[in-house]
Amino acid sequence: MPFYQGKLAVLDLGQGDASQHRQLARKLSVPLYTSVAETVQELFFLTWREGALRLIDRALLKKGGMTVEINPRNGEQWSWPAPKRGPLAQALGRKTVTVVDATTGWGQDGLALFRMGYRMQCIERSPVMAELLADGFSRLAQQNWMQTRQLQPPQLIIGDAITALQRLTFCPDCIFLDPMFPPKRKKSALAKKPIEVLRVLLGDDPDKQALFDAAVAAAGQRVVVKSPDDAAPLGGKADASFQGKLLRYDVYFKSPPH
Ligand X SMILES: C[S@@+](CC[C@H](N)C(=O)[O-])C[C@H]1O[C@@H](n2cnc3c(N)ncnc32)[C@H](O)[C@@H]1O
CB of 154 to ligand X, least distance (A): 12
Interface with ligand X in residues 37-66 (CB under 6 A): none
Element (H, E) at 28: helix 18-28
CB of 212 to ligand X, least distance (A): 10
d(CA 110, CA 99): 9
Residues 208-247, mask of contacts with ligand X (x by CB under 6 A): ---x------------------------------------
Name the residue number minimizing CB distance to ligand X.
105
Among the listed residues 134, 151, 202, 240, the single contact to ligand X using CB under 6 A: 202
Alpha-carbon dihedral 78, 91, 227, 114, rounded to 10 degrees: 30
Regarding 125 and contact with ligand X (CB under 6 A), the answer is: yes
- Count CB atoms within 10 A of the CB of residue 228: 17
Interface with ligand X in residues 158-197 (CB under 6 A): 160-162, 178-180, 195
d(CA 232, CA 213): 16
153 DSSP assignment: P
| CB-CB contact of 177 with 225 (8 Å) | yes
Alpha helices (H) in 123-248, listed in sequence order: 127-141, 144-148, 161-164, 193-202, 208-218
CB of 5 to ligand X, least distance (A): 18
Among the listed residues 11, 100, 198, 247, the single contact to ligand X using CB under 6 A: 198
Tell me which residues touch ligand X (CB under 6 A): 103, 105-109, 123-126, 129, 160-162, 178-180, 195, 198, 202, 205, 211
